[in-house]
Chain A
């Protein structure tokens, strides 16, 4: 089965690129299409590809189940935390302009949107990875 080498080489080449692209989608969402959700999906796809090629055990060394659980929670908490932060800063929930000093609402928007998109990205990545791992693990028996 030597020909698997093709898959492995290409994967090795592609996976970093996918991560990079995911980061691009994550942070470029302000300007082009995409955002946290799509970035998360691409991240998860990359991890899935890694798992497909190198197997679950190696993938789980990098992404331990416990870590995935915490990441899932973290993403939501980042999102909600941003919202509450706005609230404690004197605004309404998710009122990003409250995050920065008055007079620069647009900066506040930018900051807030960046933060929540980051939260979305983390949660989506972790959830999809977690689901994928759960399936693969279940198939093992």
Chain B
């Protein structure tokens, strides 16, 4: 395996571990959210890189899917943290927006 791939893998790996540590330790909610978000971004990168390395274009579909779904997940988490409900604060939000 090419050296650059190894470096790439290690780099992504270290980043993921760091993100994981942050997610585990907290301490605030936002630390965790950010860590998870980062972790998932790195997963996207990792999958894309793996696809590139192994010459499997289907992995790109996977990466794309992650990217899309993660956005939805993050919005959901943020809304939960901010309002404690998926629906309750909508009215205010509508008015303010």
Contacts and interface: CB of A to CB of B under 8 A. Distances in A.
A, B in one complex:
yes
Interface of A: 1-2, 4-5, 7-8, 10-11, 14, 17-18, 21, 25, 28, 32-34, 38, 42, 45-46, 48-49, 51-57, 135-137, 139-140
A48 B76 contact: yes
B75 A49 contact: yes
State the majority secondary structure of interface residues on A. Answer: helix
State the majority secondary structure of interface residues on B. Answer: helix
Interface string B79-94: 1000001111011011
A8 B97 CA distance: 10
Closest 6 CB pairs of A and B: A55-B90, A49-B72, A32-B58, A136-B86, A136-B87, A1-B96
B68 A17 contact: yes
B97 A14 contact: no
B62 A33 contact: yes
Interface of B: 57-58, 61-62, 64-65, 68-69, 71-72, 75-76, 79, 85-88, 90-91, 93-94, 96-97
B61 A52 contact: no
A55 B40 CA distance: 26
Given A49-B75, A55-B90, A136-B85, 11 more contacts: A4-B93, A4-B96, A4-B97, A5-B97, A18-B72, A34-B61, A42-B68, A52-B79, A52-B86, A56-B86, A139-B86
Contact of A33 (B58, B75, B90, B97): B58
9 contacts: A2-B96, A4-B96, A11-B75, A21-B64, A33-B58, A48-B76, A49-B72, A55-B90, A140-B85
